[in-house]
């Protein structure tokens, strides 16, 4: 938990979110500024910054993010028309929140 991390504060319940899915390792909630009809963020409950700082000890957590992505896709019914899963890494790629998260977008035209 990092006090100055917005997603840690959402996980802690200090900041509200519109929850889509939760299990023991991940929380998924609607993006506050959606770029598609369905735009959900899947975040690990432990604070972790960047994929390129991961090693084998993070394999379970990383895998559970993708399991969460699949649950979110089923729950939001984007599996038929199709959906995108995106991890922005570093500011040059548009990363703004440095708590690892997967964007799940779908439900309509999805800009690449």
Q: Which residues are catalytic, by number?
A: 101
CA-derived radius of gyration, the chain: 13
In the block, residue with structure tokens 């200090």: 14
Q: Does 96 bind ligand 5GP (CB under 6 A)?
A: yes
Residue 47 lies near Zn ion (rule: CB under 5 A): yes
Q: Using alpha carbons, select from 99, 93, 4 the residue that is nearest to residue 42.
A: 99
Task: Return the biggest CA–CA distance within the chain.
Answer: 39
Is residue 99 within 8 Å of 48, Cβ to Cβ? yes
Choose, by CB under 5 A, the member of 5, 61, 62, 85 that binds Zn ion: 5
21 binds ligand 5GP (CB under 6 A): no
The DSSP bridge partners found for residue 86 are 103
Interaction partner, residue 4 (ligand 5GP, Zn ion, none; CB < 5-8 Å by kind): none
The residue range among 24-32, 45-53, 65-73, 77-85 that interacts with ligand 5GP, by the rule CB under 6 A, is 24-32
Instruction: Give me the residues that bind ligand 5GP (CB under 6 A), please.
Output: 6, 15, 17, 29-33, 41, 88, 94-97
């Amino acid at each position: 938990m990092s006090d100055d991390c917005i997603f840690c504060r959402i996980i802690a319940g200090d900041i509200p979110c519109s929850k889509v899915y939760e299990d023991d390792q991940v929380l998924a909630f609607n993006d506050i500024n959606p770029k598609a009809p369905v735009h959900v963020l899947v975040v690990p409950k432990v604070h972790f910054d960047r994929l390129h700082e991961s090693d084998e000890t993070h394999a379970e957590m990383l895998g559970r993010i993708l399991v969460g992505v699949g649950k979110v896709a089923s729950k939001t019914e984007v599996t038929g028309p199709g959906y995108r899963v995106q991890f922005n890494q570093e500011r040059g790629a548009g990363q703004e929140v440095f708590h690892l998260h997967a964007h799940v977008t779908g439900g309509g035209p999805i800009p690449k």
